[in-house]
A and B are shown apart, each in its own frame.
Chain A
C-alpha cells in the first residue's frame, strides 16, 4: 500500500526561525511534490522533484527551498519563517515523469504549521 509520511502533524514556530518539514515515501516513486493548502485557494504547488538532487519551482516558491538527497525523502525548508507562511503543508509522490502516462499523486497527512 502506498505510504507517504510527513514528520509532524502540527508545528508551531516563531517568526524568523528556519523550519524544516520532512516527507518520506516508501513506494520508490521518482516524483515528489510540496503543496500548501489555504481556504478558498486549493492546493498550490511550492516545489517538486523528479529525481535525487533535482528540483523545480512550482507556482509559489518564494520564501521556500527544498532538498532531495535520497530518493525516498523530500524536505521543505522555510528559510526565515513569516506569519504569511502559516498554512497546511502537504507532501505528495507519484510514480515517474513519463508524460505519456497520467498518474495519481499520493498524499501525506499534512503538517499544519503555525508561525507566531
Chain B
C-alpha cells in the first residue's frame, strides 16, 4: 500500500531557529515528491522533487530528495512567526496524478 509518513507530528521552535521536517514514502513507481504549506486556508505548493540529491531552494526554505533511502527533508532557516503552518508532504500515485498525503507536521514558531 502506498504511504507517506511525516515526522515529527508537531514542533515548537523560537524565531531564528532552523528546523528540519522529514518525509518518508513508499510509493509504487515513484515519480516525484511534493511539499505544501497550509496556513489557515488552502495548501500552497512549495516544491516538487523528482531527482535525488538536487536541492530545491526558495528563500529560507529548501528541500532535497533521497530516492535510495526513500525520504525527503524540508529545511527552514532563520524561522519567523509567519512560518507557522502545517507542512504537508505528498507523493503521486502511478495512475492519474492522484496524490497520497502524509498526516502533516504542525510547526509553531514562537516570537
Interface, chain A (partner B; CB < 8 A): 4, 31, 33, 40-45, 48, 50, 56, 58, 90, 94, 96-97, 99, 102-110
Contacts and interface: CB of A to CB of B under 8 A. Distances in A.
Contacts of A58: 98
What's the interface size class on B, roughly? 20 to 34
Interface stretch (B37-45, B52-60, B66-74): B37-45
Contacts of B98: 33, 45, 48, 58
Contacts, number: 60
Among B9, B31, B92, the one with the most A-chain Cβ atoms within 10 Å of its Cβ is B92
B58 to A, nearest CB: 14
B109 interface: no
Contact of B48 (A40, A42, A102, A106): A102
A8 B48 CA distance: 29
B48 A104 contact: yes
Contacts of B90: 43
9 contacts: A33-B98, A42-B104, A45-B99, A56-B96, A96-B97, A99-B94, A102-B48, A102-B50, A108-B42
Contact of A103 (B43, B97, B101): B97
Contacts of B41: 109-110
B97 A31 contact: yes
Interface string B67-111: 000000000000000000000101010111111011110000000
